[in-house]
Amino acid sequence: MTEILIAGILIPFLGAAVSLLVPQRLARYVCVISGTLSIAAVSLVLVRFTIEGGQGFSQSIISIGGVSIWGVTVDNLSLLIGFAVGLVGLFVCIYSLGYMSLENVEHPDQGRPRYFFFMQVFIGAMAGLVFSSTVTGQLFFFEITGACSWGLIGYYESRDALRGAAKALIVTHIASLGLYFAAAMLYANTGSFSLSALSALEGPAKTAVLLGILFAAWGKSAQFPLHIWLPHAMEAPTPVSAYLHAGSMVNIGVYIFARGILSAESVPHLVGAIGAIAATFTLVYAFVLYFPQKDLKGLLVYSTIAQLAYIFLALSLSIFDAPLAFEGGVAHIFNHAFAKSLFFLVAGSLSFATGTRMMPLLRGILTRLPVLGIGFGVAAFAIAGVPPMNLFFSKFAIFAGGFEASRFYLPFLILVLIAIAEAVGTFAWFTKKFGEIVFGPPSPAVAAAKPLPLSMAAAIVALAALTLCSGFVPFAWLG
């Protein structure tokens, strides 16, 4: 399995190099092929892992002086998240076949090779990070994703795009200092960079390492006050927003925090308390900023910040004898990748067809663009936590896990009730936007909309189906 998994990580890097060498019109197809082969490799490992009894393992790949610098971990957590981000990556590559076109009303652009280069490097780096068994491996791929984000956010080379790219690179690089600190502390206390060594730490050393990981996680997952880069990242092409800033990159933070908790076995309560309080504050902050948004992508930015705060809250509360909260948080990573990527691709399709993402100008999309109307409804109700959409199941588990933690630590009940209140408010707001944008006679911008290319419609339909049907999958997989 190890050789197949390494191939799945390296294929996108190879595809990225090929994209720079082939004629420009072929680079997009190389992206789809490498994305397909990468997710096929991860899927093959997943199948073999299941057939062979589901026993997790770690294997060192690169060592110096007997110290593992990088290796791979194959277990329920890494395979679940690796499969989700790889599949979303493939759908984004397919969507880009149509979106990166001169037919795009808002951003006519054929898709230069560097777009597909950075997209494939990011897919490979994300796979490498998810399956890394060492902090140094996580750090290496963490920094690569930051470089890809810089290259893709600034793709259109406008003044705002270049500023947004620089801000994302600087803020996430500052966040990476948490991983540098964690790696140094872990090695100083255990002589190892392996994540499994976290369980050997005790007292202040374990607290320090996990807080370093938490700080890095806040930066990548755009949590207050390190959230400031994400709103400006929306200058990127919308497929980039869907993958890097909804379905994959922002999930790096919550994933490495979950991996740290799982590897540490027992986590100091101080880490959980800090994580839970910060997540609740971010949740409320992001919700308040829903209301002034006119740009659909702007609304989705703050929704992303809020949904990631749910995950941080769940993972933090799981430290207080609440395993259901951990499962709910991990399931929310998986489910959110599909639902929010769908929503961003719908937003990108609206700008492709109409030339605008401004919500006051969008009305009656179900009549003129039925695929987008249905996709908008599925995504909106998923974010709102309406059954049978996938995020309903993970939100329910998060709240149930929160009550589980509150039985032993009563003050956490306040945090859980705040999260529930935010969920009710989100339901009301997204239902309102659904009614305003989807139904009624088409507005002038929608009435003049261009038809969507088949590749874009296919990606939206596939993600809508996953959003409808995947809710139980992570819980069945995690057992």
Neighbours of 200 (CB within 10 A): 16
Question: Which residue carries 């997952």 as its tokens?
Answer: 221
In the prediction, which pLDDT does 247 show? Answer: 67
- Is residue 423 in a domain? yes
In the prediction, which pLDDT does 410 show? Answer: 87
Structural domain span for residue 416: 268-479
How far is residue 350's CA from residue 304's CA, in Å, rounded to a whole number? 19
How far is residue 301's CA from residue 316's CA, in Å, rounded to a whole number? 23
- Is residue 395 in a domain? yes
- Is residue 85 in a domain? no
pTM for the whole structure: 0.94
- Is residue 3 in a domain? no
- Is residue 412 in a domain? yes
How far is residue 216's CA from residue 257's CA, in Å, rounded to a whole number? 9
Helices assigned H by DSSP within 24-134: 24-51, 76-99, 113-130
For residue 22, CA distances in Å to 11, 41, 116, 156 come to: 16, 24, 12, 22
How far is residue 139's CA from residue 21's CA, in Å, rounded to a whole number? 29
- Is residue 260 in a domain? no
How far is residue 133's CA from residue 469's CA, in Å, rounded to a whole number? 31
Structural domains in the chain (count): 1
Backbone angles phi, psi at 298, to 5 degrees: -65, -45
In tens digits, the chain (479 residues) has pLDDT values of 899 999 999 999 999 999 999 998 899 999 999 999 999 999 999 999 999 988 899 999 999 988 999 999 999 999 999 999 999 999 999 999 999 998 888 888 888 899 999 999 999 999 999 999 999 999 999 999 989 989 999 999 899 999 999 999 999 999 999 999 999 999 999 999 999 999 999 889 999 999 999 999 999 998 999 989 988 888 888 888 888 776 677 888 899 999 999 999 899 999 999 999 999 999 999 999 999 999 998 999 999 999 999 999 999 999 998 999 999 999 999 999 999 999 999 999 999 999 999 999 999 999 999 999 999 999 999 999 999 999 999 999 999 999 999 988 888 999 999 999 999 999 999 999 999 999 989 999 999 999 999 999 999 999 999 999 999 999 999 88
In this structure, the strands spanning 67-74 and 57-64 are: antiparallel
Give Cβ neighbours of residue 435 (< 8 Å, ≥ 6 apart): none
Neighbours of 26 (CB within 10 A): 14
- Is residue 284 in a domain? yes
- Is residue 83 in a domain? no
CA angle at 450 for the pair 447 and 452, rounded to the nearest 5°: 125
How far is residue 316's CA from residue 145's CA, in Å, rounded to a whole number? 25
Query: Helices (H) and strands (E) in the chain — how many of each?
Result: 20, 2
Using CB atoms within 10 Å of the CB of residue 51, give its burial: 0 to 12 exposed, 13 to 18 middle, 19+ buried.
Answer: exposed
